[in-house]
Amino acid sequence: MNKWILGARPRTLPAAITPVLVGTSLIRTTHHGINWFNAALALGVSLLLQIGVNYANDYSDGVRGTDEVRVGPTRLVASGMAAAASVKRAAYLTFFFAALLGSLLAVRTSLWLIGVGAISILAAWKYTGGENPYGYQGFGEISVFVFFGLVATMGSYFAQAEEVTWSSFLVAIPVGALSCALLAINNLRDLPKDAEVGKLTLAVRLGDLKARYFFIGLLVLAHVAVLLAVTISGWVLISVALIPLTIQISAKIIGGASGRDLIPLLGKVARLQLLLSTTLAVALLY
């Protein structure tokens, strides 16, 4: 696989697709047609931000030496597959194109989106970059919930309706919760190594057991929020068909799966995110 595709971490991209899918689908509940060009711009921004933050994390963790011994996917800088300066340029270039598409979307809707986009890019870089990265202080999950949940989902709806509603906030909650769950299980996997190098993720701060309960709480929150969306569309009730998958994942987590045993579970969480968000999006279309 091309190293830059590897560094973009394709398996994380559903986290960028699902908020746009859900936010765009919500417009159908107001009996309006979807503006496909705006939807495409929103999707482009979301994907580029996700790829950009992946490159940025690869660079920042690599130069700090916190990725030298990894249980998870290979990182470009830490593995020596690419020079740190090259990965940093890739991150900057990706953020530049995200800003370009975001500016075009802002011109077509509201210039306020330029400010939102600028804050999103700054947050993406400061997650592991700079002198005091907040991802090293346990604030990664809240950032993911805000930017890849609330902002991305409500922003995608705003690109269609040019307004913010309680409905868009409600459907953004499960999207954000499942994005958080992906980070939470990733941090649970890396907990011993992160603690050793002083990377104080939320999992490190909570400790192993509480980090597991926190992860399961995120899955429960996602399901509850989707079911509450029955006030928008009764079709969301079909999401109960995914509860067995959630129970299966949760049982493994409570059972003490750790290290490399969490890698297949990470894939199942990504599948759950995609399936639950797609189910919600289809329900909103009808």
**Average pLDDT of 103-128?**
94
Dist CA 178 CA 52 (whole Å): 20
For residue 109, the model assigns a pLDDT of: 94
Dist CA 53 CA 230 (whole Å): 34
Dist CA 188 CA 121 (whole Å): 26
pLDDT band at 131; cut points 50, 70, 90: confident
Cβ contact 135:71 at 8 Å: no
pLDDT over 70 percentage in the chain:
97
For residue 263, the model assigns a pLDDT of: 87
Chain centre to alpha carbon of residue 268: 15
pLDDT at 144 over 80: yes
pLDDT at 104 over 70: yes
CB atoms within 10 A of CB 108: 14
For residue 1, the model assigns a pLDDT of: 54
**Average pLDDT of 206-224?**
96
pLDDT at 130 over 80: no
**Of all residues in the chain, what percent are helix, strand and coil, respectively (each to 5)?**
80, 0, 20
In this structure, the chain runs to a length of: 286
pLDDT band at 71; cut points 50, 70, 90: low
pLDDT at 73 over 80: no
Cβ contact 159:38 at 8 Å: yes
Q: What is the pLDDT of residues 244-262, one digit of tens each?
A: 999 999 999 999 988 888 8
**Average pLDDT of 201-219?**
95
What does the domain layout of the chain look like in residue ranges? 3-285
pLDDT at 118 over 80: yes
pLDDT at 69 over 60: no
Give domain 3-285's CATH number out of 3.30.2170, 2.60.40, 1.10.600, 1.10.10: 1.10.600
The per-residue b/e assignment along 165-174, b for 16 or more CB within 10 angstroms, e otherwise, is: eebbebbbbb
Higher pLDDT, 71 or 149: 149
- Could you tell me which residues come within 8 angstroms of residue 125 by beta carbon, excluding any fewer than 6 positions away? 53, 56, 91, 95
pLDDT at 70 over 80: no
Q: Mean pLDDT score of the chain, rounded to an integer?
A: 91
Dist CA 77 CA 133 (whole Å): 18
